[in-house]
Structure 1
Amino acid sequence: MVNAKSDPPRERRERARPQTVPTGGLGKAKLNPFGDLHTLQHLSARLARGLRGVFEPLLREEVRAWAEPLAVQRFADYRAERPDKLTAWLPLGMDDRTALLVLDGKFVLELLDLFFGGTGAAPADMPAEFSPAAEAMVARLGQMIAVPLTAAWEPLARVSFTVGRCEGNASMLANLDGDDALIVTRFGIAPGSAKPSFIDLVYPVSALKPHGTALTGKVVAKAAAEDALWQTALTRAAMNIRFPVRSVLAEPTMRLSKLMALQPGDVIPISFGQDVPVMVGNDRLGTGTVGTSNGHAAIKLTSLASLEGLTQ
């Protein structure tokens, strides 16, 4: 019997995660009222790029960060899927609503050891609860992640994220019931070629409902508001640009032999019609009639080139 080759190790967390959500039967509410979640997935990809700047200083090396596909679950199912180990549940105030940052306890203790100059090793026997120093580390992580999170949401909506109190037990979280629908966004954090750790950013569906219109839109980015003062200053500057304006009364021609024989006092006859061209640079502005104004030679405009095609 020939042994089959083992599959290469996978970086993605080995657990089944639903990619689509059934609409539900009669009498059941839909878990996801937003339809496809492409906009939120795009937002998560933006956040993943920002997480590199958060974890590289903490892990002291280059970090690979990515966003995994979203999942929509009930809170009770999400809790049941998580390993029965120490977990940090950190509420993130989302204006007047709440999201959750969920961190594996082992990852938190590794970061804590690095922060105090260690090698980044977690205890062999994991404690049953977080120490005050570990809770402070979780709060610090929340504050650091809130910065790129706010920037990632900026094209979609202006949202302010605030850090709550870390809980080691999910049952202590306020305003979350087992039947509440959640949108789970998962991020992989891998220093160098090491095995990745995962953090979850969990949005209750109720917290996203105020942004439902933006989440179901096809365009994430929005145009920046026009600066009226800048527009006015630009217009004034453009209006003050100076152009040379000239009129060509006549362009007589003569043979080279006669041109070479010209002497001071010779007269070159010219003739021109009633209207003469008026030029701005090399472009024709229009035509005008030669005359005088206040004792000075002048040209009265009779037509503009830019309007000739409109007036006929």
Structure 2
Amino acid sequence: MASAPPKKARHAAELLGAGPSIAEMVRPLTQLGETLARTLPGSLARISGGEPPVVRIGIPAEGTLDALIAEENGLTAHALMGLGPKRLPLLASFEAAPVLRLLDRTFGGRGLLPDPLPTRFPLSAELLLSRMEEAIAAALSAGMGGDDIHRVAPLRRDTVLAQLAPFGPGEPLLRIVLEVEEAGVEAWSLALAFPLGTLASALVAPRRQRRVPVRARRPGPGEEPFASLPIEVTAVLVDMTLPFSRLSALRPGDVLPVTVARAVPLRVDGRTIAAGTVGEVEDRVAVQVQNAF
């Protein structure tokens, strides 16, 4: 008697932590798709050399990697991309027909398909795919915030999705299709698939942490705006007392005997801040500070 197949593990939300559900991510992904619809046309026009196309977005659809593998039909380029420093995975898929039409137009043709279709992409198509991936990555990075945490970079590419193994086979994901319409050219599409974990990191704002109020620090006298403030300092070499009669009788040539005190006070706005002794430095009178108050 054959044994029953093992059941897939199911983990309670209490163990994994409360995170957004697939349903809660539909709206943020739709908004990201609307951003791509505005930013991608310019990049695609630079690749094709024509006018900017019209990009329309479809409704995000829930799925899994197993379901995508089951839907594979014909030659398709699947590009694994990484989000942020942790390289959180997301997937961009390009069918062969639009890539080969665009390749023909790039070399001056009318966008015709080879007959029969090749079973693998030629080198020229691989180079075109690299440019398309870079355009998608740049548009996604800008649409998610444009910082290092939300920077998207192409990682590797394969035509067999099962070999690429971009994420777990049964991991919940959302897939959105972008329809590209150009004048005189058959419309084509590209698809983006995001696992739930990548979506949550990319499109859900982190909870605001409570900020502890920080008391403003007052700048010290050695810091601006006080450091360069000019202050007038007066060194009082002689402080003497004269009677008014002697003072009123002073004439040019009179000599007043004075004695320089040992401690010369240094004053700012009439207030003594230090005291020192008189000396000489390089033929100039100087005061060496002995005490500061």
Band the TM-score falls in, shorter-chain normalisation: 0.5 to 0.7
Determine the C-alpha separation between the residues in 2 that align with 1:81 and 1:205.
20
Query: What's 1:153 paired with?
Result: 144
Given that residues 41 and 54 in structure 2 are in contact (C-alpha distance below 8 angstroms), is that contact kept between their aligned partners in structure 1?
yes
Given that residues 39 and 215 in structure 1 are in contact (C-alpha distance below 8 angstroms), is that contact kept between their aligned partners in structure 2?
no
Query: What's 1:192 paired with?
Result: 183
Query: What's 1:33 paired with?
Result: 21
Determine the C-alpha separation between the residues in 1 that align with 2:148 and 2:30.
15
2:110 paired with 1:122: no
Determine the C-alpha separation between the residues in 1 that align with 2:75 and 2:68.
15
Determine the C-alpha separation between the residues in 2 that align with 1:40 and 1:214.
13
Query: What's 1:164 paired with?
Result: 155
Query: What's 2:241 paired with?
Result: none
Task: Name the SS for the 1:45 alignment partner.
Answer: helix
Q: How many aligned residue pairs are there?
A: 191
2:28 paired with 1:43: no
Deviates more, 1:200-209 or 1:39-48: 200-209
CA separation of 1:136 and 1:204: change in aligned 2, threshold 3 A: same
Task: Name the SS for the 1:110 alignment partner.
Answer: helix
Query: What's 1:74 paired with?
Result: 64
Given that residues 68 and 185 in structure 1 are in contact (C-alpha distance below 8 angstroms), is that contact kept between their aligned partners in structure 2?
yes
Distance apart, 1:52 and its partner CA: 0.9
Distance apart, 1:169 and its partner CA: 0.9
Determine the C-alpha separation between the residues in 2 that align with 1:51 and 1:212.
19
Q: Kindly provide the amino acid, as one letter, of the partner of residue 171 in structure 2.
A: D
Runs in 1 of length 4+ with deviation above 6 angstroms? none
2:53 paired with 1:60: no
Percent identity, please: 23
Task: Name the SS for the 1:124 alignment partner.
Answer: coil
CA RMSD of aligned residues (A): 3.0
Q: Kindly provide the amino acid, as one letter, of the partner of residue 118 in structure 2.
A: P
Distance apart, 1:42 and its partner CA: 0.9
Given that residues 139 and 166 in structure 1 are in contact (C-alpha distance below 8 angstroms), is that contact kept between their aligned partners in structure 2?
no
2:194 paired with 1:203: yes
CA separation of 1:194 and 1:108: change in aligned 2, threshold 3 A: closer
Q: Kindly provide the amino acid, as one letter, of the partner of residue 162 in structure 1.
A: A
Determine the C-alpha separation between the residues in 1 that align with 2:94 and 2:189.
7
Determine the C-alpha separation between the residues in 2 that align with 1:115 and 1:137.
9
Distance apart, 1:59 and its partner CA: 5.7
CA deviation profile, 1:185-214 (whole Å, cap 9, x unmatched) = 110001026442110111112322334643
1:89 to 78, 82, 92: 78
Given that residues 22 and 62 in structure 2 are in contact (C-alpha distance below 8 angstroms), is that contact kept between their aligned partners in structure 1?
no
2:101 to 101, 110, 121: 110
Task: Show the 5 A alignment for 1:232-311.
Answer: none
Given that residues 175 and 193 in structure 2 are in contact (C-alpha distance below 8 angstroms), is that contact kept between their aligned partners in structure 1?
yes
Distance apart, 1:35 and its partner CA: 3.3
Determine the C-alpha separation between the residues in 1 that align with 2:166 and 2:68.
16
Distance apart, 1:176 and its partner CA: 2.4
TM-score, normalized by length of structure 1?
0.55
Task: Name the SS for the 1:172 alignment partner.
Answer: helix
CA separation of 1:175 and 1:60: change in aligned 2, threshold 3 A: closer
Could you say which structure has the larger radius of gyration? 2
Distance apart, 1:155 and its partner CA: 7.9
Q: Give structure 2 stretches of 5+ with no counterpart.
A: 1-9, 14-19, 208-293
Determine the C-alpha separation between the residues in 2 that align with 1:53 and 1:212.
24
Q: Kindly provide the amino acid, as one letter, of the partner of residue 154 in structure 1.
A: G
Given that residues 138 and 166 in structure 1 are in contact (C-alpha distance below 8 angstroms), is that contact kept between their aligned partners in structure 2?
no
Query: What's 2:7 paired with?
Result: none
Given that residues 86 and 129 in structure 1 are in contact (C-alpha distance below 8 angstroms), is that contact kept between their aligned partners in structure 2?
yes
Distance apart, 1:180 and its partner CA: 2.1
Given that residues 69 and 162 in structure 2 are in contact (C-alpha distance below 8 angstroms), is that contact kept between their aligned partners in structure 1?
no
Q: Kindly provide the amino acid, as one letter, of the partner of residue 83 in structure 2.
A: M
TM-score, normalized by length of structure 2?
0.58
